[in-house]
Structure formats: structure tokens, C-alpha cells
A = this chain, B = another copy of it.
Amino acid sequence: MSTVNPDDIAKDQLTAFVERIERLEEEKKGISDDIKEVYAEAKGNGFDVKVLRKVISLRKQDADERAEQEAILDLYLQALGMPTA
């Protein structure tokens, strides 16, 4: 629509798209706040939030892929004289 004529702008259509996106972004923001609240609640119950985030991310990872990456990591850490995981 780069060389569009002002009158060709479908105002209602544009307005509808903008409002749909804004409603969804509002909803998404609400859920982000909910996630923050759960982490805050977990922290309040003595859980380590940083580790809890790590658990959540590990649970998304394919188990075999995770095992392989951790095996290679241990190899590299040993080669560098660092403590393994």
C-alpha cells in the first residue's frame, strides 16, 4: 500500500485491526502480570525464582537433547579445568 491514495484508506478496517491488536495486547499484558504474580507467590513461599525459571525452560527442552548438551558441557568444563554441572 506504499503509493496509496488518502481516500483509499479503509478507515473502518484500519480501526478494526488497531482495536483487535490493542485488545489482544491488553490481554497478553494481563497474563504477563499473572505470571509475575505466580513467581512472586513462589518466592514468598521460599522458592528460588531464578532456579524456578530454569526448571520451566528445561521442561520445554527435549530430554535427549538436554542430556546430550549437558554431557558436552561437562566435557568442555572438564577440559577447561572447571567444575562440571
Majority secondary structure of chain A interface residues (helix, strand, loop or mixed): helix
Which of A22, A52, A55, A58 has the largest number of chain B CB atoms within 10 A?
A: A55
Given A1-B48, A24-B38, residue A18 in contact with residue B55 (CB < 8 A): yes
Given A56-B21, A68-B2, A80-B14, residue A51 in contact with residue B38 (CB < 8 A): no
Number of residues from A at the complex interface, CB < 8 A: 56
Stoichiometry (number of copies): 4
Contact B85 A45 (CB under 8 A): no
Beyond the given A9-B79, A13-B47, could you list 16 further A-B residue pairs with CB under 8 A, ordered by the A residue number?
A: A1-B46, A6-B75, A9-B76, A9-B78, A10-B45, A14-B47, A17-B42, A17-B45, A20-B38, A28-B32, A28-B35, A48-B69, A48-B72, A52-B76, A55-B73, A59-B82
